[in-house]
Amino acid sequence: MSRPVAARVVPDLRLAGFAVGVWLASVVALYQPARVAAVGGGVALIVAGAGALTGRAWRQGTGAGPARMAEPGSPASVGRARAVAGSSGGMGRTRAAEDLSGRVDRTRAAAGLSGRVGRARAAAGLSGRVGRARVRVAARWICVAVALGAGCGAVATAARMSVREAAPLVALIEAGDPVEVAAVVRDDPRALRGGTGPPTYLVAVELERVRRVDGGEPVRLSARALVLGSDDGWRGLLPGQHVIAIGKLLPPRAGDLRAAVVSVRKAPRLIGEPSWAQRAAGVLRSGLQRACEPLPDDSGGLLPGLVVGDISRLDPALKADFQATGMTHLTAVSGSNVAIILGVILFLTRRTGAGPVLCAVVCGVALAGFVILARPSPSVIRAAAMGAIGLLGLATGRPRAAVPALAAAAAVLLLADPELAADAGFALSALATAGLLLLAPGWRDALRARRWPPGAAEALAVPAAAQVACGPVIAGLSGTVSLVAVPANLIVVPAIAPATLLGVAAALLSPVWPAGAEFAAWLGHWPAAWLVLVARIGARLLAGAVPWPGGVPGALLLAGLTVVALVAARHAVVRKLAAVVAACAVLGALPVRLLVAGWPPPGWLVVACSVGQGDAIVLPAGAGRAVVVDAGPEPDPVDRCLRRLGVRQVVLFAVSHYHADHVGGVAGIFRGRAVGAVVAPDWPEPAGGREQVAAAAAGAGTPVQPVGPGWAYEVGGLRLEALGPLAALHGTNSDPNNNSLVLRATLGGRTVLLPGDAETEEQADLVDRLGAAALRADVLKVAHHGSALQAPELLDAVDPAVALVSVGEGNDYGHPNGALLARLARDGARVLRTDLSGDLAVLVSGDGLAVTSRGVPGPG
């Protein structure tokens, strides 16, 4: 016997239209001048007022129609029926004695049936008219609510935008003179590392006063700004700290409320100290980091992120794994993260038999403690608000109360801080909470009706609802749709609560008992290690994610498909048909994904990694081993490329020259893998790049060996030899480029020429000294990202079958040169570009060469 299913509760969406209007208008207004946004907001408010008045008049004008129609069976209809019956009753009595006995039963039966049919038809007609009228009224008022929200959002954003457009502040920015700023720190400083020099600290502040250093009237204001601090004195600042600094005002970017960017070279002068709450939170957070220092890098870096959103020690590669597996919410403070943690606590509290009030109290205490520990910054307050609303719906079992609260909270947060409208974290928080309130209860009840245990039904419904709601935004950000997000989030749920509670215990114990804090952190790193393991395995599954259009179009496409699927799934026939189609698709596509080789393709000869405007070339040297030439401009893209290729050991890292677009990502080469040797040209410039490579190599205990013509290296069937530079070239267009280490690789009888960024001078010198025959190659990595500075004699000498161009999308250098690409194609080369096709691979196919691409352009 099946369990009874509770009646479906229709959510109260009265404030949803207002919140959506505020959201959309705030996003648009952030990219418009304040005056345009204010005018648009005024127009929207006028439209809302006109719609409200028109709707009220329409309801009053039509209220006498359907409302005055008497329903069958009502007193009015009964009275009219009795009147009609009375008028015909006299005639019936004159002949009643003749045929009453034979016809009375048939007459009564027919009259009863006719009455019931008539009443049913009348009721159906009336119900249909009333239903259509209600739909029209609801649609009209939803439009009014959206227009009202749009007006309020645009006006509120325009008021905040007007500060950054104030004439005195704009004049100071345009003048570019040194200024003294008085500000309040709003968030923790973030270190932005690049090269071997000290990091630049990004500090969000609230400007209070700005004045010229050489005198003048101070400009008093309350506006957000971003400080770029070069001094180490910015590192340890806490939110709430008042500072005075001298720097230069730079114009802000569009899309946020920052009035200026302040470039500061010296340490700030501190005024007073932060509040006791911020100081206490700072002590606990730093104590948690100290307790996690002895732990492994992966779990030790994740635990502070899981507890307080501090990911300063989190490996970027591991962070990418969490994103690919749909578990990003576990590495930062977000509404979905808070909701999941509170859901675990709520589940455990309910298991004790506690009622809704006690459950709400326990979860409220946990939420308050989380806010204090994670610091009440705007992002944490946003997450706490979303988590509290999810708690309201889950603890009280009243989604009709929670949904208006969600809409009201979102609208209030957006009106107070319009910048949240363009924040992906806010969108994910609000959508995840909406999924928990609108989708999770129905899915949980449906599973329970099919005899699922209550705990299992809720455990599956919560991550599934959150993932479905957040899916469009995640797809737009990442360009992929994760197929493992729901199962991954499901199997890590048991580890979240112990990791969080032990992490909180470590933070609380750190000021009074450091050894106890380290022990709690050591216990907590075991469940955190489970999260790391799930993220890494999920990110490496061949069928774990499918490509999807990125950006706003991709997000809107998936959102539309999701809405259609949710509406269609309400019908049993559609659900069964969708299940059959999905099963057939999985059974048909999964074997193909698993059995047919993905990336890298078998027999690959060379891969050009998509690292943006830079070079990173990979040559195979055995199972899990490779030779890497150059590292690109950033660590993450080259690290992800090597991980996709399954490279666990770099037997040789070769540097063509020390420009940042070739060595800026050197840390990604050494990240999580052994590097056997490092070679580079014997050229001292640029000094910063040379020091960066030397520091990375020294950290791994691998010295840098200068090499030149005549040097050779062999490993795993691969032979690498240096062809140039044959002589030091001075006074050229770019001496570092024209002294690039030129390498030729030979593997399986095929040759690859890697000229680095050699330009016309070095290329011509190679042809003159070595001759054309020594430079012949099957594959050419086109020099200097396909610039126009190419020696025609070198192109003729190489005569490649395949030409690979490693270049960044939308770069400012005009790379690659169109005439060069046309010439290569005319000469018979197959030309491929990383900015258009992503990672590029050349492989041996029979007696010839084949090319393939990963098809995901952009860095990494």
DSSP for 270-302, please give it.
EES---HHHHHHHHHHHHHHHHHTTS-HHHHHH
Strand partners, 681: 707
Nearest to 459 by CA among 487, 435, 433, 427: 487
DSSP for 820-858, please give it.
HHHHHHHTT-EEEEHHHHSSEEEEEETTEEEEEE----S
Instruction: Give me the mean pLDDT over the 387-402 stretch.
Output: 59
Please report which confidence band the pLDDT of residue 284 belongs to, taking 50, 70 and 90 as the band edges: confident
Which pLDDT value is given to residue 7? 47
Q: Which two tokens stand for residue 568?
A: 């269609």
Strand ordering across the sheet containing 750-754: 712-715, 718-724, 742-747, 750-754, 779-781, 802-805, 830-833
Q: Say how far apart CA 87 and CA 93 lie, in whole Å.
A: 12
Nearest to 435 by CA among 469, 401, 400: 469
Q: Say how far apart CA 855 and CA 555 lie, in whole Å.
A: 19
SS3 at position 734:
coil
Residues in contact with 788: Cβ distance below 8 Å, sequence separation at least 6, in sequence order: 814, 817, 819, 820
* Least confident residue range of 73-77, 184-188, 487-491, 698-702: 73-77
Cis-peptide into 600, omega within 30 deg = yes
Q: What is the β-pairing status of strands 269-271 and 617-620?
A: unpaired
Q: Say how far apart CA 464 and CA 469 lie, in whole Å.
A: 9
Strand partners, 751: 746
Q: Say how far apart CA 168 and CA 216 lie, in whole Å.
A: 11
Q: Which two tokens stand for residue 804?
A: 């690979």
Residues in contact with 392: Cβ distance below 8 Å, sequence separation at least 6, in sequence order: 360, 398, 401, 402, 405
SS3 at position 241:
coil
Instruction: State the number of CA atoms in the 13 A half-sphere of 46 facing the CB.
Output: 6
Class at the top of the CATH hierarchy for domain 604-849: alpha beta
Residue 313 is classified by DSSP as T
Q: Say how far apart CA 723 and CA 708 lie, in whole Å.
A: 7
Query: Over the stretch 24-41, which tens digit does the pLDDT of each residue have?
Result: 999 899 888 889 999 999
Q: Which two tokens stand for residue 800?
A: 């490649």
Which pLDDT value is given to residue 523? 94
Residues belonging to the chain: 860
Class at the top of the CATH hierarchy for domain 167-274: mainly beta
How far are the Cα atoms of 337, 549, 559, 822 from residue 476, in angstroms, in the given order?
20, 7, 10, 34
Q: Say how far apart CA 264 and CA 269 lie, in whole Å.
A: 12
pLDDT over threshold 70, residue 332: no
Q: Say how far apart CA 141 and CA 14 lie, in whole Å.
A: 9
Which pLDDT value is given to residue 395? 54
Q: Which two tokens stand for residue 3?
A: 């369990």
Domain ranges of the chain: 1-63+119-160, 167-274, 279-326+483-541, 333-481, 552-596, 604-849
Percent of the chain with pLDDT over 90: 32
Query: Over the stretch 46-89, which tens digit does the pLDDT of each residue have?
Result: 998 888 887 666 555 554 444 444 444 444 444 443 443 444 44
Answer yes or no: same fold for 167-274 and 604-849.
Answer: no
Burial class of residue 158 (count of CB atoms within 10 Å of its CB; 0-12, 13-18, 19+): buried
Percent of the chain with pLDDT over 70: 79
Quick one: how far is CA 105 from the chain centroid?
Answer: 75
Please report which confidence band the pLDDT of residue 377 belongs to, taking 50, 70 and 90 as the band edges: low
Which pLDDT value is given to residue 500? 79
Q: Which two tokens stand for residue 139?
A: 């649609």
Which pLDDT value is given to residue 789? 92
Please report which confidence band the pLDDT of residue 399 belongs to, taking 50, 70 and 90 as the band edges: low
Q: What is the mean pLDDT of the chain?
A: 80
How far are the Cα atoms of 139, 356, 580 from residue 322, in angstroms, in the given order?
41, 34, 31
Which pLDDT value is given to residue 591? 52
**Which of 62 and 505 is assigned the larger pLDDT?**
505
Please report which confidence band the pLDDT of residue 100 belongs to, taking 50, 70 and 90 as the band edges: very low
Q: Say how far apart CA 732 and CA 791 lie, in whole Å.
A: 14
Instruction: Give me the mean pLDDT over the 514-534 stretch.
Output: 92
Which pLDDT value is given to residue 747? 93
**Which of 366 and 619 is assigned the larger pLDDT?**
619
Query: Over the stretch 566-579, which tens digit does the pLDDT of each residue have?
Result: 877 776 666 667 66
**Which of 109 and 742 is assigned the larger pLDDT?**
742
Query: Over the stretch 233-255, which tens digit does the pLDDT of each residue have?
Result: 998 888 889 999 999 999 888 78
Which pLDDT value is given to residue 219? 87
Nearest-5° Cα angle at 205, 203 to 208: 150
Q: Say how far apart CA 437 and CA 715 lie, in whole Å.
A: 59
Residue with tokens 């309910």: 350
Q: Say how far apart CA 640 and CA 295 lie, in whole Å.
A: 24
* Least confident residue range of 209-213, 269-273, 336-340, 525-529: 336-340
- Say if residues 353 and 398 touch (Cβ distance below 8 Å): no
pLDDT over threshold 90, residue 114: no
pLDDT over threshold 50, residue 187: yes
Residue 633: which H helix or E strand, with range?
none
835 residue type, one letter: D
- Say if residues 474 and 329 touch (Cβ distance below 8 Å): no
* Least confident residue range of 551-555, 565-569, 831-835: 565-569
* Least confident residue range of 140-144, 264-268, 666-670, 798-802: 140-144
**Which of 161 and 754 is assigned the larger pLDDT?**
754
DSSP for 117-178, please give it.
HHHHHHHHHHHHHHHHHHHHHHHHHHHHHHHHHHHHHHHHHHHHHHHHT-HHHHHHHHH--E
